[in-house]
A and B are shown apart, each in its own frame.
Chain A
């Protein structure tokens, strides 16, 4: 939750300077207007600074009133209900006031206790359970009902069970509240699909292409450099940075069949891929995009001549709108249909899980030594690779050719950008981002997706500011980024 708060605060353009004495790991907090500022880094630090600050604020609210009277009730007392009994009908009430009001109905003398004029000391209650956090007076709760409910919820037996989803509750009111909404609540995935069932929502979400988006956000918040590719332990893949990639590629992307007879047939089906991988750079960019999408839409239906059945997703008109808010609209069918055009914005291509790396794949295929297939790399691996490559070379000619190559597909990108963002020159923007290190491009786009509502562009690294002193979080030197952006960098 705090992360969301942090994001929201940023989205409002609210960047705070860290409070002195805060334990935010701010190394060199530079003002953003200065040239040579590694803007991404400063934002990155800003995020963590804000986070710590917000945490401090949050904690401050929780300091208890030292004057309050601490009451420790026994479990029995807490669980007792209806202590006040009417002598006539035996009805039980939780509060004495309620009993008095009830006695009115029996025409009995009743008296409502007035609030005493003397200063009433605030009462706080502690949980009788010793192991509980709220056992300590500093974490006492201010409300009797609150402590009762807490006790039941945390330390009580869950007696109430929802019929539909079999979720269990210890407090009856919780259960009632849940039953009202159970089954009525709809879950919406980032891709736009609605679910009435939580379990099918979760399963869908895990496999949905929109997940790429989410993890970009999570990654940036938690520090991408810490998510090493150690976790990614796919035995067949090997090291994606291995120069022996071509062979892996062929084993990975040809369907594993232990039969030599069938290889011919399968080879035909995948010859597109083989061809693309070993092809020269020039036509790779655009045609790969085509191939990717065609491949994505290849399905048994087409093999057997059956057309794909209905598209369950929102119509294309929502596409741009959803994209604004960092959502990916298409999933499954829709994506196959929508993405068959060649002039796709590059970032949308990126959002397809495996096709996430189409930008860096263009990047990587420029290098003779890296025959990386288009979508073989996870975001993590790609960033590592980019970091490696970026750290070693600044190949201006490469960057130049990269720029031109991307320009076609990026123009669309630019159009979209210009709709959503204030920018002076759409193409200039794109040119700027083209000529960056592609790793930064990826993270740029990632962060763009992270804060889509903000009308600001991720800053480009402007020309070198003192060799080696400023490095962005990938450890890539700033001087690797050459082009002083024509964007009116307002970062």
Chain B
């Protein structure tokens, strides 16, 4: 991320060095900017924006129900900021920029990018962070360098990832926030109930949580029944996860299963470019096994057109239960409308970043790493064309209701039992306040995790 932002700063930094007349000039030069000028520029642009682009002005809907008053303390060492910036400046600027890109207004684009670059920082407050990561994506979109940026991000991430760091990161995240454990508890509950009494279990796990879901399931299998079933776990790894990490994980899982006294078999399927390549044969499903398919943050990685096929493939495995956990956001139906897609993307990640801000301590390293993990997703959604082969990965999230529509083609919904709901509620009690369980509306299925009254994660269970 640093690499690309450095690129941004180099190229756009000089532009604002000239005074306002040069706004329309397209020459790049390297000139440092005084804070006061910046403040003027910002203010001026705000007012200019209102005047000139009044028709584009959208109501300032605060998507997050709590507007955190983030003290805008000089992201770039600026003093004397006009009150025009204040709260949610990032949101405004980013949306302006997105609109400018959509309108292909290059002067405005340049200027906004420059301003964002000045104000953004991945180490600042929420606004600054959002500005930083979204700026990267907007820049890539404007310069059509999304693919390259992704590749850089991936290589940087792979270099710095190790089993130790990944483990530490996810365990810490699960300790402070139920974002992932919500899905785990609900899915495990549904799986245990659906597979109750079966002697041979085969769980196909396509998830992004590095098997942290399974220890509690293994423990439940070991303790709840007198005769412990045999469990075969097939993990499908997407390209993001480094294989050495998976190797470590497989060792640990096997050891743990031995410790628990659960007959266990662990398989890893990796090397897939994208999930669309998954085949029934590769999964090795046997006749006498009771199959459960567990998808956590997985379906969104499939290209939008290929999703129905994947769901049909799941159906062909004849599973007893399919559990799906996804985050509540819609980047899929709006994929041809950049501004709308951008807005939902911004809303979602604002919520996520604010959640991270509240759950972690201010100086937490893990929080920083989690934020960085988002950068790839943001760039992918906003700056990568789906048609191109971006290694087959995409991050087009859909809302629960949309997934339900898809899944209803092949499956019928299974409600979560009261016991599972109680388990989830008990889980949420163990975290700080702000989290709640929400039942879906009528005609909808699944459960929602809400953060400050806003639905963020959706979990559902399906049977053929």
Residues of A within 8 A of B (CB): 161-166, 168, 197, 199-200, 202-207, 211-212, 214-215, 218-219, 227, 231-237, 251-253, 255-259, 261-262, 265-266, 269, 295-296, 298-301, 303-304, 306, 308-309, 332-333, 336, 353-354, 376, 378
Residues of B within 8 A of A197 (CB): 430
**Top 3 closest A-B pairs, CB basis?**
A262-B155, A206-B215, A255-B158
Q: Mark B160-173, 1 if CB is under 8 A from A, else 0.
A: 11111101100100
Identify the closest chain B residue to A230 (Cβ).
B265
Q: How far is the CB of A175 from chain B (nearest CB, A)?
A: 14
Q: How far is the CB of A304 from chain B (nearest CB, A)?
A: 7
Point out the residue from A205, A259, A301 that lies within 8 Å of B215, measured CB to CB.
Answer: A205
Q: Mark B253-281, 1 if CB is under 8 A from A, else 0.
A: 11110110000111111110100000000
Cβ of B65 under 8 Å from chain A: no
Q: How far is the CB of B311 from chain A (nearest CB, A)?
A: 25
Point out the residue from A166, A218, A219 that lies within 8 Å of B422, measured CB to CB.
Answer: A166
Identify the closest chain B residue to A232 (Cβ).
B254
Identify the closest chain B residue to A270 (Cβ).
B159
Known: A255-B158, A309-B363. 5 other contacts (CB 8 A): A166-B425, A206-B252, A211-B252, A252-B243, A257-B239
* Bound form: Cα–Cα A233–B253 in Å: 12
- Interface size bracket, B side: 35 or more
Question: A262, B264: Cβ atoms under 8 Å?
Answer: no
Question: B365, A309: Cβ atoms under 8 Å?
Answer: yes
Question: B252, A236: Cβ atoms under 8 Å?
Answer: no
Question: B151, A262: Cβ atoms under 8 Å?
Answer: yes
Question: B168, A300: Cβ atoms under 8 Å?
Answer: no
Identify the closest chain B residue to A268 (Cβ).
B159
Question: A236, B216: Cβ atoms under 8 Å?
Answer: no
Per the 8 Å Cβ criterion, residues 175-193 of B in contact with A are: 175, 181, 185
Identify the closest chain A residue to B252 (Cβ).
A207
Question: B174, A203: Cβ atoms under 8 Å?
Answer: yes
Residues of A within 8 A of B270 (CB): 235-236, 256
Point out the residue from A166, A199, A259 that lies within 8 Å of B216, measured CB to CB.
Answer: A199
Identify the closest chain B residue to A227 (Cβ).
B258
Q: How far is the CB of A283 from chain B (nearest CB, A)?
A: 24
* Bound form: Cα–Cα A255–B219 in Å: 32
Q: How far is the CB of A247 from chain B (nearest CB, A)?
A: 14
Q: How far is the CB of A179 from chain B (nearest CB, A)?
A: 13
Question: B181, A199: Cβ atoms under 8 Å?
Answer: yes
Write 14 A-B pairs (CB below 8 A) sorted by A numbering.
A164-B426, A199-B181, A200-B174, A203-B216, A227-B258, A232-B254, A234-B250, A236-B271, A253-B244, A255-B242, A261-B151, A266-B159, A300-B365, A309-B364
Residues of A within 8 A of B427 (CB): 199
Cβ of B419 under 8 Å from chain A: yes
Question: A212, B425: Cβ atoms under 8 Å?
Answer: no
Per the 8 Å Cβ criterion, residues 136-158 of B in contact with A are: 151, 154-156, 158
* Bound form: Cα–Cα A346–B244 in Å: 23
Question: A211, B255: Cβ atoms under 8 Å?
Answer: yes
Question: B167, A166: Cβ atoms under 8 Å?
Answer: no
Point out the residue from A161, A233, A259, A296 that lies within 8 Å of B154, measured CB to CB.
Answer: A259
Cβ of B106 under 8 Å from chain A: no
Residues of A within 8 A of B242 (CB): 255-256
Cβ of B30 under 8 Å from chain A: no
Cβ of B248 under 8 Å from chain A: yes
Question: B155, A265: Cβ atoms under 8 Å?
Answer: yes
Cβ of B286 under 8 Å from chain A: no
Residues of A within 8 A of B266 (CB): 231-234
Residues of B within 8 A of A232 (CB): 250-251, 254, 266
